[in-house]
Structure 1
Amino acid sequence: MIDALERDLGLSEAQVITRLANEERAMAAEASLTTALGSSYGGAWLNDDASKFMVATTDPATTKAIEAQGAQPVVVSRSLDQLNGIMQALDQAPQQAKDGATLWFVDVKTNTVSVQAPTVEAAQALVAATDVDKSAVTVAATAEQPTTFINIIGGAAYYIGGSRCSVGFAVTRGSTPGFTTAGHCGRAGAATSSPTGTFQGSSFPGNDYAWVAAPGNTATPYVRGSGGANVTVRGSTQASVGSSICRSGSTTGWRCGTIQQHNASVRYAQGTVNGLTRTSACAQPGDSGGSFISGSQAQGMTSGGSGNCSVGGTTYHQPVNEALSVYGLTLRTG
């Protein structure tokens, strides 16, 4: 940590050690004063070099108690509870107003709530959509465009409520990133997490494919391979019967076999799925939707099968090209 803080904050080792000690004292003082000041507490912060610990209060009579903790009191007009109430109102504003803004946060240093958007007008629109005290809110234009930092990689896990499936292949539709997966993993409209997205289309039974739009995430041309290495997807040409094939899933990882047949129809309890490819690669629950790849060519998404990876088994995949065609998707390749 000391090395990283020296590098990223431009400090000497001695300065880092002093800063960490000051921060530790501030944490203890803040925990104590939050309780002691009660409804008058207005928040706390360290100055730029962490040499001073500032504590805000709406009650001038509490300044002595703040000083007794080695902190510098700042008398303000609004408590932290009041600022958090403004935040709650903004969080509950109509979605259309929130869609125009970029971020909003409590700024204890200025004793206000800050709303930022690509334009000042968009920030003002969010504030106007609530009945908050406008004098307690500042607005500003920002160039920030926050995104999540999840890379969409074939074989990785994603979640639908309490269930888990696996990413098939990263795709785009227009400028929207997302991924293919198995249709039995979710219906259109179902929400996913890690990465966050929404099922846009799903077909099961009959077929077993789906696609999830995951805006804000990064579509990559990779499938998670053996030992943490990634395999680059370069296309989606169908491999011949007898070809070697590997699959990646969030339960059993990277497993390989051979293609036994194309165009198989399989009867599941939920109904029959047609046009599947039968392979000797094993799989287990949670691997559903995960990538099948032969060489560098995407083949399909894990549908189902029999057996397991302890005793071996047979696994079927839904060919990816059908899903790409039906939903107008572009496979992410490298």
Structure 2
Amino acid sequence: MKHLMKMYMRRALVVAIVGAGISLAGASDLPGQLSASDGMLAQVMALHSLDERGAIERLAAEEAATDLYHRVQGMNIPGYAGAWFDADSQKLHVALSDMALAEMLSKFGAAPVQVAWSLAELEGVQRMIGGGESGLGPAELRKLYVDPRTNRVFVGVVPGQADAVSARLSAYADKVEVHEVPHTVTLTADIRAGDGTRNKTWETLHGGIWPCTIGASVENGFYTAGHCVDAGNVLTTPAGTTTVGQAQLSAYPPASSTIHDVAWVKGATGWTPKPKVNGYSDGIISVPAKWAGTATAPIGVSVCRYGQTSGGPHCAWSMRSMSARGSGRTPS
């Protein structure tokens, strides 16, 4: 029984890693080589206040929910309004403004939840607010995303502006929730998983050390955070002695704009993408080929992220497609 539970745990932790966007492309099939360490399991247990058996059972349920989530996303369901993993029922909850296919989803193992608005309707409101049509600008808006659990658009504003923004968005009062957000997103080097890097170009131009982390390896290179590089920048290993690659594309706007924080780095000669994750205290994690790539995880599942400064913290996926106002990047 314990062997079976450990097998579920290994598979589920792969889903958690993939859901976090950390899995590495270019892998060969390495079944059984993903070893879920006691440290990883302990963090999941602490995160959800569970014993070992409960943590393993939850991870197995999250794996099943994630598989179903991907199926649901490809079904073009009328009135689809998002989905999330519910810890109490251990099921994927699927919000629907049209219940025509609710029975079918129940047979698949999902828990349909009737709501007022479809995801398309809420995303339309999100685009309207984020695009400036509502009159809200960087001086007021700090966070913006669709929350399927409340069937509302979460609008985060600077302290003291909630009433004024609520009045301005009164026409959408039944589709939005306005909350005060005390701080902007402050970007640091401990965002992404994997081996560390240094921006050698910025060091030459501005001095200091500019660390970051490889997010996920892809064909001919890897993804990293956009705030870590500009196109053309050279990245090295943490020691600063070996060139890792050169950034080809970087998406990161000024702090006054909505964040699109991603960059692609072309690997230097001899730099080969590997199907592995540097788990730091959790060791080197090999990712089987069938889990390679990136995938969107449903809200509510456990995820693991690894970075050269953050180590291996585990958390629960809480939101997706969020726009945010940020600070913390100086070079341009």
The TM-score normalised by the length of structure 2 is 0.45
Compare the two structures and name the one with the higher strand fraction: 1
Larger Rg: 1
Q: Which has the higher contact order (CA 8 A, sep 6+)?
A: 2
